[in-house]
Amino acid sequence: MVLKVALRIRFLKLPNLVEERIFKASLVIRRVEESSFQDVMAIVENKVTFMELSLLKHIVTVFFKEDNGDRVVVDDGYYAELLKSWVKAAVPVDGSDSGEDDDGEAHMETSATIEVEVTASSSSSNFDLTPHHHSTDVLTEQRVVKPAPLTIENLAKVKQAPLFSLGEHHHSGGNVAASPVADLRTRVGQLTCPPANAAFFLRCVILGIYFKNPKPNLVVAELDLGDADNPTEEQITAVTFDEQVHKAIRENLRGDLRHIIEVRNAYVRKKTETEVRFQRNRHPLMLRLDKTCKLEVVQILSTPVTMPRGTPSTIVTVRDRLAPNGVLDVGNISQRGGLTGAPASSSSSSAGARRTVFVFDNAVGGSHVGQSVGELGRQNTRHQQELLKRQRVEEDSFLLNATNLNYATASDIRRREPLLEQHANREEKAVERIKKKAPVSTACLICKLDLENEEETLGTVEYFLSRHSTKQGCTMPTLEVLKNSLCDQRPDKKGKRLYCTSRFVDQQSKTVHLVHPRCVHLCTQYQRGDRLEDVLQLEANLTSCTLCGQLGATVKCYHPKCDRTFHVVCALFSNGYVNFGDRDPFLPCPACPSHTHVPMNAKAAKNVVVGSNASVFEDNIAFDSRVVDASDLRDPDEGDGW
């Protein structure tokens, strides 16, 4: 849902000004769950800058007047309540299909009035003397240390450098601004929404930096952060849509697991259902960064933070206690099989290769027949495979019962089916929205002729007919003759329809058009079952007319081995070059001169049907169907296209 709030901003108190000033602005919220009070402050600060007031020397306070007359100071918590009331009071935008655009998002509108007071800051003189930064700085570049090469000499310099506390450096008058005393460090795992302490900061390690483009002209930066004390277990994601923050991140931060930063003035919110589904960490909250937040690089580690490997850790693993095939421990085999430790004898032949045979004496069943080493090796291999199979079954059962692993459930499958259906019908819904919004053009989508414009129509027809390759001197039709030729030609409906009532959308220009009944009846691919929009987009725009050589031909010769195609106008006014068969107009069968219908005797024509006899096409002659019904003709206004 896209919410547009028409803001009326009243500046009641301004320095050196007696009268009030009123501004109007629009606040567009594309994702309600990600909107914060900083969006309103950005508009207010823009108006303050327009009035040539310094933000460094003045304090800006925003009020909202409720229905009972109370003037309430707007902060992050109260802004969330205001946002809920705006959503309830919003109405769909007029002149659209239920307030939805082409992307399927609902557009809502509402209005609100806020009051602003701008007062001079008591400590404004300090800004003229010392180069302090305003609170809207995204990164304190003085604290950012450019990474030095990881060499033994640089590590020795770091080790020999004097240690000093943050308080001592603050009293020494350095350029580095000390951390505010009121700020309280919060662990990532202990963070709540809303935070327990308003003045909090996080000390985190940057685990990864990602820039994404979920929509055109929209860039999202995501920071994967881990708590400095426990980065492997306590992780959280920070997102930002601000271009100024994007620039600061690209210039000062690196996702090499070495930068430790402190995050202040960040907006904390809960993850949405979509974000939980595609999350990279299990923290239920997220951070939103804008130009009012502050990120300070407080430490650069000499070595990256060690992160646990994912599962599986390696591609190929070798299990323990696996012996090669054919290598046996005779003592273990004898103990497993209940064999005694009788001496083994070996027999060998004087000629040929030697073959060693082991014989074991059993105290119960007597002596066994001799067994070769290869057979014993195969038995041991089968035994090992059974053990491994049993172990794999136990591991699979453990993975299914593990609670810390994600796997698809019946609920996930039920939620997935509506999404698949929604994506499958998105194209059809977009076409329906275009049909309702766009005006209908009287230019036929197939022949491109607009019979309402006589001069342009006759010029187009003359252009086609004058380029006929047959040079048969085609006569130019008048507008009335052209209308009679393009209307429905069936005897029971002749002349009753010049246009089909069904509307079609041009996929390229996104415009709505009508079609002539004769053009639809002669369109070969449409009569074969294809969608008219697909035929015109994929085939007609790439097919040239055999007579005039121009693109956009839709009338094909019915012979399966013939590739000749024609425009509707070129075929109708070709002076017999294109023949439509004996069953026209109930079922037109366009044919080129090589495959025009010829008479047959009754005996040969009894069982001949188009496409039923291969020998017919071998002679380059085919014939119309002997049994044709009026319902065989496909029409957009009859039976949903059939």
Most confident of 50-54, 348-352, 636-640: 50-54
pLDDT of amino acid 98:
47
Residue 75 to residue 639: CA distance in whole angstroms = 61
Cis peptide before 588 (omega within 30 of 0): no
Whose CA is closest to 570, among 550, 589, 596? Answer: 550
- Kindly state the DSSP code that residue 539 receives in the 8-state scheme: I
Provide the token pair at 328.
């046996």
Condensed to tens digits (0 to 9), the pLDDT of residues 419-474 reads: 777 776 776 777 777 777 777 888 898 888 888 888 888 988 888 888 887 655 56
Condensed to tens digits (0 to 9), the pLDDT of residues 147-163 reads: 666 676 676 766 666 55
Residue 606 to residue 121: CA distance in whole angstroms = 103
pTM of the model: 0.35
Q: Is the pLDDT of residue 135 over 50?
A: no
Residue 420 to residue 403: CA distance in whole angstroms = 28
When the pLDDT of each residue in the chain is averaged and rounded to a whole number, the result is 74
Residue 28 to residue 40: CA distance in whole angstroms = 10
pLDDT of amino acid 274:
82
CA 350 from chain centre, in angstroms, equals 77
Residue 130 to residue 175: CA distance in whole angstroms = 10
Q: What is the mean pLDDT of residues 172-200?
A: 71
The long-range contacts involving 133-138, CB below 8 angstroms and separated by at least 24 positions, are 133/177, 134/55, 134/56, 135/265, 135/292, 135/294, 136/55, 136/291, 136/292, 137/294, 138/242, 138/244, 138/245, 138/248, 138/289, 138/291, 138/293, 138/294, 138/295
| Lowest mean per-residue pLDDT among 96-105, 214-223, 355-364 | 355-364
Residue 119 to residue 115: CA distance in whole angstroms = 13
Cis peptide before 194 (omega within 30 of 0): yes
Sequence-distant (6+) residues with CB within 8 A of 47 are 9, 11, 23, 25, 116
Type of residue numbered 479? L
Higher-confidence residue: 455 or 354? Answer: 455
Question: Do residues 465 and 550 make contact, with C-beta atoms less than 8 angstroms apart?
Answer: no
Considering all CA atoms of the chain, what is the largest pairwise distance in Å, rounded to the nearest integer? 124
Provide the token pair at 271.
């993850």
Superfamily of domain 184-300, CATH level 4: Nucleic acid-binding proteins (2.40.50.140)
Instruction: Just give the CATH number of 2-91+107-120.
Output: 3.10.20.90
Cis peptide before 585 (omega within 30 of 0): yes
The share of the chain scoring above pLDDT 90, in percent, equals: 8
Q: Where are the alpha helices (DSSP H) in 466-546?
A: 479-486, 517-522, 524-527, 532-534
* Cβ neighbours around 364 below 10 Å, total: 6
| Lowest mean per-residue pLDDT among 4-18, 239-253, 511-525, 599-613 | 599-613
Condensed to tens digits (0 to 9), the pLDDT of residues 261-310 reads: 999 988 898 888 888 888 888 899 999 998 888 899 998 888 888 876 54
Question: Do residues 488 and 496 make contact, with C-beta atoms less than 8 angstroms apart?
Answer: yes
Q: Which regions of the chain carry the CATH code 3.10.20.90?
A: 2-91+107-120
Condensed to tens digits (0 to 9), the pLDDT of residues 231-264 reads: 888 999 999 988 888 989 998 888 888 889 999 9
Q: Is the pLDDT of residue 603 over 70?
A: no
The long-range contacts involving 385-393, CB below 8 angstroms and separated by at least 24 positions, are 388/319
Most confident of 22-31, 224-233, 485-494: 224-233
Residue 524 to residue 556: CA distance in whole angstroms = 6
Give the bridge partners for 441, in sequence order: 513
Question: Strand, coil or helix: what is 282?
Answer: coil
Q: Which regions of the chain carry the CATH code 2.40.50.140?
A: 184-300
Report residue 460: phi and psi, to 5°.
-65, -45
* Cβ neighbours around 326 below 10 Å, total: 12
